[in-house]
Amino acid sequence: MSRRRVNMMLALSPLALLARGGSALADSAPVQHAIAMHGQPALPPGFAHLPYADPKAPRGGRIIFGIQGTFDSLNPLIVLGVAPDAVPRYVQQSLLFRSADEPFTAYGLLASRAELDADRRKLAFEIDPRATFSDGAPVTAPDVLFTVEMLKTKGKPFHRSSLARITKASAPSPKRVEFELGDGSNRELPLVIGALPIFAKHATNAETFGDTSFKPALGSGPYAVSEVRPGESLTLKRRKDFWAEDHPLTRGLFNADEIRYDFYRDSNALFEAFKAGLYDARLEGDPTRWMTGYDIPAVHDGRITRQTLHFDTPKGMTGLVFNTRRPVFSDVRAREALGLLFDFEWVNRNLFHGVYRRAGSFFSDSPLSALGIPADAREKALLAAFPDAVREDILSGTWKPSETDGSGRDREQARKALDLLRVAGYALQDGVLRNGKGEPFTFEITVTSRPQERLALNYAQSLGRLGITANVRLIDDVQYWRRLSAFDFDMIQWTWPASASPGNEQIGRWGAANAERKGSLNYAGVRSPAVDAVLQALLGAREREDFVAAVRALDRLLLSGFYVVPLYYLPDTWLALARDVVMAGRQPAYFLSNETLARLPATPAPAN
C-alpha cells in the first residue's frame, strides 16, 4: 500500500448549506426525494447513482490528505479549538446530501423522504429504517432533535443563529421528525436543518459538547476514526458494516479503505512533501508554484499528473480585510484610499506570472455579480429604504477596481488616495500621515504563510510612500485562528468562497448580529441595516429573478462599504494528483468532490 498524502480539502463539504423544495406538508402533497433551491432536482426518484460518480470505481488502498496547520479538537462545529472537518465529512452523515453537479440540490440520505409546505413553515423528515450508527444502534428522530438542540446552544455562530429560527421541533414517532419554522421567511432554513451532521444521543455528552476533545463522535457514515495523533495526523478506516454501502448517493464514492490527514506547519514543507510523494493530491493556489515549482522528475516521468479544471461556481472574494472595529479603519473614505494603493497590475505581473484576474465582486464570474451591471428595478426597490447605502457609480455599474500603470509607483493613484485621506482628516507631516490628533496612520497586517507575507510586504511598501506604516506579522497557525476567532487583528488576508446559491452563510459573514459574535466569519465587523435587510430578501426569495437581484444588491452594498482591498482570483482550478490516484467518474459541474477520489490497483512489476 502506497504512503502518500493530500494537502487540502478538495471540495465543499457535504455540510455546506442545502436548499429548498416545493411540496406541501399535507396528505395530498407528494413526498420528496430531494430539495432544490430553485427549480426542480435534476435526478428523478429511484436514480441509480450521482451522474459524476462511477459505480465501478476501483476500491481499496489508502489515500492521504495533507493540510497546512494543526488541530487540537475533532469537532469543527463548536467555537473552541481548531479541528479538521474530516469527522463530519466521513464519519457522520446528514439527513440530506448535496450534489456537486447542481447549483444547490440536496438528496435524501439519512432521510428517506422530506415534506415541506409551500410557505416553508413546516418541515418533516422520515428517517431511513436501515440507517444505523457504527455501534449498531438505529438513527432515530430523537437523535435529530438532540443534534439540533446542541448546535443551537453550543455550536458555531452560524448554526446558533440559523437554528434559533425553529419555533417547534417534535418527534411524533421514532423515525419521523417535524419542525415549525416561524413565518418561513428564511427559505433556506429547511435544508440547513437537512445538512446537519447527526450525533448519536446515547453516545454524546451534551454537557461537554462545547469543549475541545480528541474523542471522535459516533457516526453513521462510511468511516470510523481509527487513530488520532494530536496535531500530527488523523486516520479513518472504512466500516465493514456501513448501512448505506449500496445507497445511490454513496455508490461510486468513498472508495478508499483508509483515509489519513497529515498536518504540516509550513506551506513550503507541505509542498516539498507532495513532491516527495508523501500525499496524493494537491489543489494548487500559488501561480508561481504552478508555473515553475512542478518542473521536477516526478512530473516528467508521470508519477504526478496535473489538470486544469473549470467549474461554474462563482469565484468568491479574496481580499485584505479591514477590521472596522479598529478606529483606524472606521472611515470608509480611508478604506477606499487604501484600496487605491494596491498595485494589482504590478503584483500580478511580477509575483504571479499574470495568471490572476482582479476581484471586483464577491461573486465574480457569475450572473450574481453586480460588477459592470446597472441595478435593475428589483434591486432599486430593495435598496429604496437605504438611499445612501450604495454609491451612485456602483449602483449604475460604472465602478470598477482601481487600475494602475503597473510601475509599482503610480503617482495618479497615490494622488487620488491622498485626496481621500485628506477629506477623512489625515495630513502628511514630515513624511508621516497623521490624523487630526497628530497620531500616525499605522496598523498591522497579520499573515500565516510566506506567500501572504510576500504580498503584505509589497503592499506595505506601497503604503509607506504615503507615510502609512503597515507592520507585517507572520504568526503560527494556532495563534492565527485564535486571534481570528476573537477578532484580534487589524488586517488579514481572507477568502470567502461563493456557491452557486448563496444563502445563510452570508448572514454569518455580513450580518450585524455576528459582528461581535466570536467565531463568526464577519471579520470585517460589518454592521449595516441595509445589508441585514438585503440578506433577509435573499433568504426569502421565491423566484430566481428576485434571488439574483438580492445577491447583486448585497454585492453592491459590500463594495460600497469598502470592507476589503479586493485582490484577485483564479478563473480555473489547478489539481495535481499522484499517478495512481484518479477522480473516478467525470468532473462535477460546480465543485470538486474528494469523495470521488480512488486509488488504482497496484500494477505488478514485469517479470525478469
Residues listed for the chain? 608
pTM above 0.75, yes or no: yes
Cα distance between residue 20 and residue 189, in whole Å: 8
**Residue 388: count of CB within 10 angstroms of its CB:** 8
Residues 6+ apart with CB under 8 A from 328: 334, 441, 442, 443, 490
Place of cell 417535524: 178
Which one is predicted more confidently, 13 or 153? 153
| Cα dihedral 297, 302, 308, 313 in deg (nearest 10) | -110
Q: How far apart are CA 75 and CA 81, in angstroms?
A: 8
The pLDDT of residue 603 is 61
Per-residue pLDDT of 486-520, as tens digits, reads 999 999 999 999 988 898 889 999 999 999 988 88
Q: Retrieve residue 453's grid coordinates.
A: 507575507
**pLDDT surpasses 50 at 553:** yes
Residue 199 has pLDDT above 70, yes or no: yes
Supply 507's cell numbers.
Answer: 448572514
- pLDDT exceeds cutoff 80 at 54: yes
Helices (H) and strands (E) in the chain, counts: 17, 25
Residue 5: band (very low, low, confident or very high) from pLDDT cuts 50, 70, 90: very low
pLDDT at 16: 33
Specify which of 64-68, 141-145, 161-165, 211-215 reaches the highest per-range mean pLDDT.
Answer: 141-145
Amino acid 18: pLDDT: 34
Question: How are beta strands 357-358 and 597-599 bridged, if at all?
Answer: unpaired
- Helical axes 267-275 vs 450-464, angle rounded to 10°: 140
| Residue 445, Cβ density class (10 Å: 0-12 exposed, 13-18 middle, ≥19 buried) | buried
Q: Identify the band that residue 86 occupies on the pLDDT scale cut at 50, 70 and 90.
A: confident
- For 513, which DSSP code? G
Domain spans of the chain? 317-569
Helix/strand/coil percentages in the chain, nearest 5: 25, 20, 50
On average, the pLDDT of the chain sits at: 90
Asked if 127 contacts 243 with a C-beta cutoff of 8 angstroms, the reply is no
Decide: residue 87, CB within 10 A, 0-12 exposed, 13-18 middle, 19+ buried.
buried
**Range with the largest mean pLDDT of 82-86, 336-340, 450-454:** 336-340
Using pLDDT thresholds of 50, 70 and 90, give the confidence band for residue 22: very low
Report yes or no: 571 and 365 within 8 Å, Cβ to Cβ. yes
Task: Residue 343: name the closest of 466, 434, 431 by CA.
Answer: 466
Q: How far apart are CA 464 and CA 466, in angstroms?
A: 5
CA gap 152, 322 in Å, rounded? 29
CA distance 481 to 518: 11
In terms of C-beta density within 10 A (0-12 exposed, 13-18 middle, 19 or more buried), how is residue 497 classed?
middle
Three-state SS sequence of 76-103: CCCCCCCCCCHHHHHHCCECEEECCCCC
- Inform me whether the pLDDT recorded for 10 exceeds 90: no
DSSP notation for 50-74:
-TT--TT----SEEEEEEES--S-S
* Strand pairing category for 304-309 and 581-583: unpaired
Q: Considering Cα of 27, then 116, then 133, then 160, what sign does the dihedral take?
A: negative
For residues 69-79, average pLDDT? 90
Share of the chain above pLDDT 90, in %: 76
d(CA 355, CA 347): 11
Which helix H or strand E contains 126, and what residues bound it? strand 122-127
Residue 47 has pLDDT above 50, yes or no: yes
The superfamily in CATH containing domain 317-569 is: Dipeptide-binding Protein; Domain 3 (3.10.105.10)
Q: Are strands 111-116 and 122-127 parallel, antiparallel or unpaired?
A: antiparallel
Give tens-digit pLDDT for 369-394: 999 999 999 999 999 999 999 999 99
Cβ–Cβ under 8 Å, residues 223 and 214: no
Let me know the angle formed at the C-alpha of 593 by 592 and 598, rounded to the nearest 5 degrees: 115
Pick the residue with more confidence: 39 or 145? 145
Q: How confident is the model at residue 30 (pLDDT cuts 50, 70, 90)?
A: very low
**490: nearest Cα among 523, 516, 448, 452:** 523
Mean pLDDT of 43-68: 94
Interval 434-456 mean pLDDT: 95
Confidence tier at 157 by pLDDT (50, 70, 90): confident
Q: CA–CA separation, 514 vs 511, rounded Å? A: 6
Q: What are phi and psi of 570, to 5 degrees?
A: -95, 130
**Whole-angstrom distance, CA of residue 136 vs CA of residue 126:** 19
Q: What does the alpha-carbon distance between residue 12 and residue 516 come to, in Å, rounded to a whole number?
A: 26
Residue 9's pLDDT band (cuts 50, 70, 90) = very low
